[in-house]
Homo-oligomer: A and B are copies of this chain.
Amino acid sequence: MGSALAFVAADAGSKVQLIGTPVDKDVIDACLREGRHPAMDEAYPAGTGFSYCDGWKEAVEGCDFVIAAVSSFGVEWFMEEILCSLSPAIPVLSAAKGLICKEDGALLSYPAHWQEELAANGVSRDIYALGGPGTAPCIRRKDHTMVALCGPDPEVLLMMKGALSTDYFHISLTRDIEGLEMAVAIKNAYALGISMALGHERSRDAGSGKECFNSQAAVFYQASREMNRLLELHSAGQLSRHIGSGDLFVTVTGARTRQIGLLLGEGKSYSEAVEILGGITLESVVIVHRLQEYLRIKEERGEMDGKDFPFLRYIIRVLDGDKVGELPWKEFEMEEL
**A residues with CB within 8 A of B:** 132-135, 137-139, 141, 143-146, 148, 154, 157, 167, 170-176, 201, 205, 208, 210-218, 220-222, 224-225, 228, 237-239, 242-243, 245-247, 249-250, 253-255, 327, 329-330, 332-337
Contacts and interface: CB of A to CB of B under 8 A. Distances in A.
A224 B220 CA distance: 13
27 contacts: A132-B221, A133-B213, A133-B217, A138-B211, A138-B212, A138-B215, A141-B210, A141-B212, A143-B205, A143-B213, A143-B214, A143-B215, A144-B327, A145-B215, A146-B214, A146-B217, A146-B222, A172-B332, A216-B249, A217-B246, A217-B249, A217-B250, A220-B246, A220-B250, A221-B247, A239-B336, A245-B245
Contacts of A146: 214, 217-218, 221-222, 329, 332-333
Contact of A329 (B144, B201, B334): B144
Contact of A135 (B145, B213, B337): B213
Contacts of A138: 210-215
Contacts of A211: 138, 253-254
A11 to B, nearest CB: 15
Contacts of A221: 132-133, 146, 242-243, 245-247, 249
When all copies of this chain in the complex are counted, the total is 2
A272 B216 CA distance: 31
A330 B172 CA distance: 9
Contacts of A157: 337
What are the nearest 10 A-B pairs in CB distance? Answer: A221-B246, A217-B250, A133-B217, A213-B254, A146-B218, A144-B215, A138-B214, A145-B214, A172-B334, A174-B336
